[in-house]
Structure formats: structure tokens, C-alpha cells
Amino acid sequence: MARTDETHLDDLRDAYRDSAEPAAPRPRRELASEMAPREFVRYCWRQLTSMRTALFLLMLLAVAAVPGSTFPQENNDPAGVAAWMADHPSAGPWVERLQGFHVYSSVWFSAVYLLLFISLIGCVTPRVGVHWRSLRAKPPRTPARLGKLPEHRSAEVGAAPQEVLEAARAVLARRRFRAELREGSVAAEKGHHRETGNLLFHLSLVGLLVAIASSSLFSYSGQRLVTTGGTMVGTTMDSFSGGTWTTADDVPPFTLRLDSMDVSFEAQQTAQIGQPRTFAANVTLTDAPGGRAQRETIRVNHPAKVGHTQISLSGNGYAPVIVVRDGQGDVVQDGATPFLPQTANYDSTGVVKVPDAVDADGRPVQLGIQGVFLPTASQNADGSPVSSFPGAANPVLVAKVWTGDLGLDEGVAQNVYTLDTTRMSEVTGADGQPVALTMKPGDVVTLPNGLGTVEFTGVERFASFDVRSTPGQSAALVFALLAALGLVLSLFLPRRRVWVKATASGTGAGSAVEVAGLARGNDAGLAEEVDAVLRRLREALGEPPGGPDAPQEPDGSPAVPAVGDHGAPAHVPEESP
């Protein structure tokens, strides 16, 4: 009985190894020689300037811009950055190290941006020269056998061959072909501007990158709130955000005084009551110190201009005039205080901070008044005071008073429109209830505990101005439109070649005509183009469009338009020069 255990199998394997001939050694693979430094640089340049690399960098730039919308940016929202750092004490320092709060000026974003810029230039520049030479080149030579082309038509006409060729050149020229008359044939070509559109698209992308970069480097924007009769100077802003290479000192030193506000709301049509109808700021503008003052009216979407800087009207509201006297009778606050609108009916909130008051006993005290201004005061269903119309038909100021530490002595910037009451206490009356002030213009309220008085003298308006300069904005729009034009040209202009041959007819007088066409890529309209050329040629020669002289194939059968892929490549032998 044959052995089938593992020992027997091992013996068989050993016998096989001993009887087998030794394998021939494998030839060693020759390693490529190391590239010289110059060759390595040329290789890197070719890779960088390839269209594949440009598309990859464009996608990478889009991905790199995502953190800019995920994290608050220091130049636009410094308060948001501080809040994010406070809410994320562990991740905040790492985001700061990775320049997550300065994405668009970071090293890694700038590197991708510059590489994309270089790649596009290196990719497009050589193609410009090639395209220029192709525009000046003559149409290609006529193939020896036109019947091999994807679209081919033939016909018999009564005119002489030279007359046919002259007519063919005129017909092709009218159809926007570049045609050249040669011995026995006419060669024509059109659609070069397809590549023109392609180059225009890529060059416009380069221009768009330059425009966006210039805007990122040199643009700035600032906001300033001005009450009626107040003045603002260009170099002083409530908030300012600038490009990488700009500061507040780059803003022109103009002076603007708000003379009055023209504001009106719809009060007649019930369906649109309260809708804004007019917003305009009448200002006196001086371009530079010592310059001539000019009166201008700034409306929505109609800004004033100082050089390349636009001054736009971005908002408006009410500024109640509040006078505060301390316990000694001294005026410690007197002026219009802007209250920011919170609703469409201009229910507005604001704060008055009085850090240097003195009570009746001569002790220093700090006061904070937290108020709501109602232009047209009324009551809602639960009895709460609200404004029923944005116009100042029945102005009322509702406020609470606080005492304590305003926090102004700590040297930390504060929001002037909010009141931090964590270290303050609300003023109460003799009954122990918080004091609530409800005042109309002209009312004076005496505060308890010898804190003084609060007087509501009247209402003024304020305007919020946006000061902005975007040097690359117009150029970016132009390049974007050019890119769209180039894209349309590159997508919808077909590249076609047409040849017409005319030889003496073998049946007698007249000529045998062949018309053939070739397209670059798949072109469903090539067959129609060839048919149209032959039809127009027969019309130019006075031949009937159909009948026995209709287009025929070389074997005499009626010409049938080809179906399928008209743009399939074909090997076309050419005539020797």
C-alpha cells in the first residue's frame, strides 16, 4: 500500500528538488542613472506646469479655504477669535499655531496660491505661442483619397473644374472658413477660436487670481456710527479690518459731518405699513485737511467717494438725548446716545455709562442705565411695551438703573452697547422694588438714595457709515466675465476641416466634385456642414439642388449621410507635396 503520511511527501519533495536542474540566474535590472541637477529642475518644472497639477492645486486651494469659514478670522472678527479661544482653551492654542485665525494670510494658504499662479502661467504661456503659429499657418494639405474621411459627398456639375474651385472658395469663405485655393482642390479650416477661448479662460483665471490677491493685500473696510451734528474722520473707526499690507493709516484723512437724516416709512397702505421708503444722509464732506467742503447726499447703493474709497450708508436708528445729574446737581452725562434697532419697528436697546458721579453725601458712585427706546410706544397682548411703527410718533424710553463697578478702570475694551451687571446692583425704591423709568421727551425722574436725576430731553437720529476700498473688485469682475466668454467659446465652437476637389468629368463636359470633412473630436454637425457646403456650391454654380445630379457616392449610389461617431479618427493619406 502506498505511503501517504507526511514523511513520504517530504521524501517526494526532496527527490524532486534533487532531480530538477538549477534555475538560470535572473538578469540584473539596470537602474536608471541619476538625474543631473538641471534635469531634475526641468522635470519638476514640467510636473508643476502640467494641467493635471493646475487642476489639483485649484481643488487644493478650495479645500484650504474651508478653515477660513470655519474659524473666526482675526482681521474681520477679533472679538469672535477671543470668544473662540475662551470657549476652546485646549484647541485654541493649536489653531493659533496652525494659523487657523489667519487663514488667508497664512504660509500654507499663500504657498498653494502661489504654486497655482505659477502653474497656470507655465501651462498657458507655451500654448499661446503654439496657437499664434497655428493661426498664421495655412490650411492642411488635401488628402489623396477624400473617400476615406468620415464625411464624404460627391456630385457631377456642368461647370469647369477651375470655376468650381473658385466658387467653392467663395462658399467656404462665406461660411467663415479660412480657405486656400490649390491645384485641383480647395482646403479650408475653421474653429481656431475654440483654442482662443480656451486660452482666454485660463489667462482670465490668472488675472482673477491677481485681482483677488491685490484685494486681499490692499483692501480695507471700517465702520463708524455718527449722530446728527457729529463728525467722523477717516482715520478713526469704531471697527476696522484691513488687508495684509494695509492699516487704518491708509484710509484717506477725509472729514464727514452728518447734517441731517431723511427717513420715511410707509404709513398709508395697510399691507406695507412700516416698510422703509427713504433712507438718506445729508453730509458735509471734506476730502483732506484744508480742502473744500462739499455737501452730498448718501443713499442706499449710492455712496460718496473719496478717491478709490467708498463711504456707504449701512444703517440708521434713534439716539435719545439723556441728561444725567448726580447727587450734587452736576451734569455728568449730556448727549445723544445711539440705541441699536432690534426689530423692524425699531424697538432699540442702548446703555448709558456714568463712571464719575457723586451721590448726595459726596461719595463717588458709578451708574449704568439700561434702556429700551420705543419710537411709537404701545402695548402688546400681554401688556408689555412695544413699538407698533418705526417712525417716532410716540417716543418712550423705558430704562433700569444700576450702581456698582462698571469695569472701566481695568483697561479692558468694552462694548458700549452692553452693560456688564455682574458686579452691579439694581437701584431699588423705598418699597424695595427695582426702579423702572418710563419717560417721554421732557420728563425728569429723580433717582432714590440721592443718586441724582435722569432727564429725557429729546430724540435725534444716527447713521452708520461703511468706509471701504476694494482695489481688485472691478478687475475681478472683468476677468470673471472674460473667463465665462472663453469657456463659452471653448465649449461651443467646433473645429472643422473641409476639402473640395474638382476634376474633369469622365462622361463629358463638366466636373466631378468631391466634398469631404473632418472634425476634431465628436462633432454631430459635421455631416450637415458638408451637405450645406455642397448645396451652396451647386447653388453658386446654378445647378439644381436635387434630381439626377444629387450628391452620389463614387460607385454611383445616392449619398447617404453617415451615422454614428462622425468624429472617429481616420488614417488619411495625403498627397505628396
pLDDT digits (tens, 9 = 90+) for 146-203: 999 999 999 999 899 999 999 999 999 999 999 999 999 999 999 989 999 999 999 9
Q: What is the CATH number of domain 138-190+494-577?
A: 3.30.310.50
Q: How confident is the model at residue 32 (pLDDT cuts 50, 70, 90)?
A: low
At residue 401, the pLDDT reads 95
**The pLDDT value given to residue 150:** 92
Give yes or no for residue 556 having a pLDDT over 50: no
| Interval 511-527 mean pLDDT | 91
Q: What is the pLDDT of residue 331?
A: 95
Residue 24 parent element (H or E)? none
User: Is the per-residue pLDDT at 575 higher than 70?
Assistant: no
Alpha-carbon distance 29 to 122, whole Å? 36
Judged by average pLDDT, the poorest of 30-39, 159-168, 196-205, 253-262 is 30-39
Supply the pLDDT for residue 296: 95
If you search the block for the grid coordinates 465702520, which residue do you land on? 223
Q: Which amino acid is at 27?
A: P
Mean pLDDT value across residues 452-470? 95
Instruction: Please tell me the predicted confidence (pLDDT) of residue 403.
Output: 95
d(CA 348, CA 354): 20
DSSP-derived secondary structure for 358-390: E-TTS-EEEEEEEEEEETBEEE-TTS-EEESSS
DSSP class of residue 68 equals H
**Residue among 358, 383, 360, 387 nearest 372 (CA):** 387
What pLDDT shows up at residue 59? 93
The cell for 414 is 468694552
457-471, 505-519, 556-570: the lowest-pLDDT one: 556-570
Q: Which of 228-237, 292-301, 442-451, 552-561 has the lowest mean pLDDT?
A: 552-561
Task: State yes or no: pLDDT of 527 exceeds 90.
Answer: yes
Q: Which helix (H) or strand (E) holds 562?
A: none
| Distance of alpha carbon 526 from alpha carbon 562, whole angstroms | 10
**Is pLDDT of 569 > 50?**
no
| pLDDT tops 70 at residue 256 | yes
E strand segments, 194-273: 220-227, 231-233, 239-242, 255-265
Q: Which of the four pLDDT bands, split at 50, 70 and 90, describes residue 19?
A: low
Please give the model's pTM, rounded to 2 decimal places: 0.68
φ/ψ (deg, to 5) at 444: -130, 130
Tell me whether strands 424-426 and 443-447 are parallel, antiparallel or unpaired: unpaired
Grid coordinates of 308: 478709490
Closest by alpha carbon to 155, among 514, 566, 546, 494?
A: 514
Confidence of residue 389 (pLDDT cuts 50, 70, 90): very high
pLDDT at 61 over 80: yes
Length of the chain: 577
Residue 548: per-residue pLDDT: 43
Q: What is the mean pLDDT of residues 533-558?
A: 68
User: Can you give the pLDDT at residue 516?
Assistant: 96
User: Which set of grid coordinates corresponds to residue 222?
Assistant: 471700517
CA-derived radius of gyration, the chain: 41
Reply yes or no on whether the pLDDT at 566 is more than 70.
Answer: no
Per-residue pLDDT averaged across 254-279, rounded? 90
pLDDT band for 105, please (50, 70, 90 cuts).
confident
Taking the mean position of all CA atoms in its chain, how far away is CA 502? 56
Confidence (pLDDT) at 407: 87
Dihedral pair phi/psi, residue 412, rounded to 5°: -100, 135
47-57: average pLDDT: 89
Q: What is the pLDDT of residue 10?
A: 58
Mean per-residue pLDDT for 206-233? Answer: 90
State the average pLDDT over residues 444-461.
94
CA separation (Å) from 558 to 152, 346, 385, 455?
12, 82, 91, 102
pLDDT grade for 7, boundaries at 50, 70 and 90: low
Tell me the pLDDT of the chain averaged across its residues: 86
Q: What is the mean pLDDT of residues 362-366?
A: 93
Residue 209 scores a pLDDT above 90:
no
Q: What is the mean pLDDT of residues 304-317?
A: 93
**123 band by pLDDT with thresholds 50, 70 and 90:** confident
Compute CA distances 264 → 117, 261, 268, 275, whole Å.
50, 10, 12, 9
Average pLDDT over residues 224-228: 94
Domain ranges of the chain: 40-130, 138-190+494-577, 220-469
Q: Above 60 in pLDDT, residue 551?
A: no
Sign, CA dihedral 147-153-156-161, equals: negative
pLDDT-based confidence at residue 383 (cuts at 50, 70, 90): confident
Confidence bin at 15 (pLDDT 50/70/90): low
Average pLDDT (112-121) is 91
* Of the listed ranges 7-11, 232-236, 296-300, 501-505, the one predicted with least confidence: 7-11
Q: How high is the pLDDT of residue 73? A: 85
Residue 276 pLDDT > 50: yes
Confidence label for 441 from pLDDT (cuts 50, 70 and 90): very high
Q: Where does residue 47 rank: exposed (0-12), middle (13-18), buried (19+ CB within 10 A)?
A: exposed
| Per-residue exposure over 83-112, b if at least 16 CB sit within 10 Å of its own CB, e if not | ebbeeeeeebeebbeebbbbbbbbeebbeb
Q: Of 533, 515, 454, 525, whose CA–CA distance to 492 is shortest?
A: 525
Task: Please give the pLDDT value at position 8.
Answer: 53
Mean pLDDT calculated for residue range 308-315: 93
For residues 216-229, average pLDDT: 91
- In this predicted model, which residue has the larger pLDDT, 212 or 457? 457
